[in-house]
Amino acid sequence: MNVHPEIAFYAPLKAPDHPVPSGDRTMARLWFKALEQSGFAPCQQGGLRSYDGSGDETRQKAIRQAALAEAETLIAYHLSRKSADRPKLWFTYHVYYKAPDWIGPVVADALSIPYVIAEGSRAPKRAGGPWAIGHEGAEQALDRADLILAMTETDEETLMRFRPGNQRIVKFPPFIDLGEWPDIAGTRQTHAPPRFLAVAMMRQGDKLESFRQLAEALHLIAPPWQIDIVGDGATRGEIERLFAPFGQAVTMHGEITERFRLAELYQQADLLLWPAVNEAYGMIFLEAQAFGCPVVAGNQGGVASVVMHGETGFLVTKNDPRIFADTVTKLLADGDMHNRFSQQARLFIKQRRSLSSAIKQLAPLMESTLQGNGT
């Protein structure tokens, strides 16, 4: 095996170089970096985005056709190269029914190389209905995978239930690169009045519902307090109207992409607040805790994989603004608990959710997968 074996890298939902920032793009970039720093040479494959958010059968058919054509192009290209120069493994980040991987399994089969998925999700209830084609593609990819890195307990449970006999499924929680953030170890101080923070894209669906629940919870938290809200999108006007009754207690920052500005807000916040309606896991929780900012979040999706309940924050009953508000009030009233959560949050990210900790787990997994397939 070469010292730096080439790995084909593909992110069907959102590629690392996609122009629109999001948690998916951030995670794709982190996986790419983790592979590089684990001693491999990841190479991004193609540019097709397979995402269909509306359940459009015609669009899904067109995506499948374009993907299979792109797969044939990639196969021809790689087979034209010397055997030693071809990818030794195909690595796909994030496969689910709205963003299937039609390309990776086909190319992996043609090149006789192992196929790995990070963050794969099965959704049996989507077998029929508007995403049936996307579901089919996702299931085929998940069935083909030699190794799946399950990033949340929810995903892991379903993946294990439908696991083919020769497939490995390994728990591999989300992570961040602390080196990308300034002043991680900076000194924190609490504020009077307390200062909250929310960071999210502003769009229809779960994000808007999360903002609605956050506004409802804030109505139940006794003033004075301040909240910084970071984000932009199609529903910004509606969200601004939700928070207008709080007047100057709310600061709407719009979209912030500069890490030093986000770092300042994480450093200044006493609590990160987010109801997390149907949240996959949320990079903001990792980022906030890295700065010692405790979290109050809805216990939904994979949030439990990135927040340690009762240690770095609280996960509360989903879709219940009253309990959310009471939990915030409880945490603010107990300074010792808040300080303890802050210290534990920093350690949790550094020791268990950092890029360096991810590399320690990833490198041997990739090596064993390669060796198990005769490379």
Beta pairing, strands 295-298 & 89-95? unpaired
Q: What pLDDT, on the 0 to 100 scale, is given for residue 375?
A: 40
Same domain, residue pair 163 and 192: no
Co-location of 196 and 273 in the same domain: yes
The predicted structure's pLDDT at residue 3? 57
100 and 11 within one domain: yes
Establish if 318 belongs to a structural domain.
yes
> What's the pLDDT score for residue 46?
78
Q: Is residue 57 part of a domain?
A: yes
- Token pair 């122009």: residue: 19
The single-letter DSSP state of residue 244 is G
Range of the domain at 339: 179-352
Residue 285's Cα: distance from chain center in Å?
A: 10
Q: Exposure pattern of 243-276 as b/e (b: 16+ CB <10 Å)? A: beeeeeebebeeebeeeeebbbbbbbbbbbbbbb
The β-bridge partners of 95 are 120
Does 203 fall in a domain?
A: yes
Same domain, 169 and 25: yes
The candidate with the shortest Cα–Cα distance to 305, out of 191, 179, 151, is 151
Residues 361 and 345 in one domain: no
The CATH number given to whatever domain includes residue 121 is 3.40.50.2000
316 in any annotated domain = yes
Q: What is the pLDDT along the chain (375 residues), one digit of tens a residue?
A: 445 799 999 999 999 999 988 889 999 999 999 999 999 999 999 789 999 999 999 999 999 999 999 999 999 999 999 999 999 999 999 999 999 999 999 999 999 999 999 999 999 999 989 999 999 999 999 999 999 999 999 999 999 999 999 999 999 999 999 999 997 777 777 788 999 999 999 999 999 999 999 999 999 999 999 999 999 999 999 999 999 999 999 999 999 999 999 999 999 999 999 999 999 899 999 999 999 999 999 999 899 999 999 999 999 999 999 999 999 999 999 999 999 999 999 999 999 999 999 999 999 999 999 998 434
234 near 243, Cβ under 8 Å?
A: no
| CA angle 371–372–375, rounded 5-degree value | 40
> 285 and 150 share a domain?
no
Helices H / strands E in the chain, number of each: 12, 12
Q: Are residues 153 and 85 located together in one domain of the fold?
A: yes
Same domain, 57 and 140: yes
Q: Do 25 and 14 contact (CB within 8 A), yes or no?
A: yes
pLDDT, residue 203, reads 94
Residue 1 domain-assigned (yes or no): no
Rg of the chain's alpha carbons, rounded to an integer?
Answer: 22
Assigned domain for 22 exists:
yes
- Same domain? 344 vs 358: no
Cis peptide before 21 (omega within 30 of 0): no
Residue 361 belongs to some domain of the structure? yes
User: In total, how many domains does the chain have?
Assistant: 2
- Is the same domain home to 121 and 36? yes
Q: Which two tokens stand for residue 244?
A: 């207008």
131 domain residue, yes or no: yes
200 and 308 part of one domain: yes
Q: Are residues 186 and 320 in the same domain?
A: yes
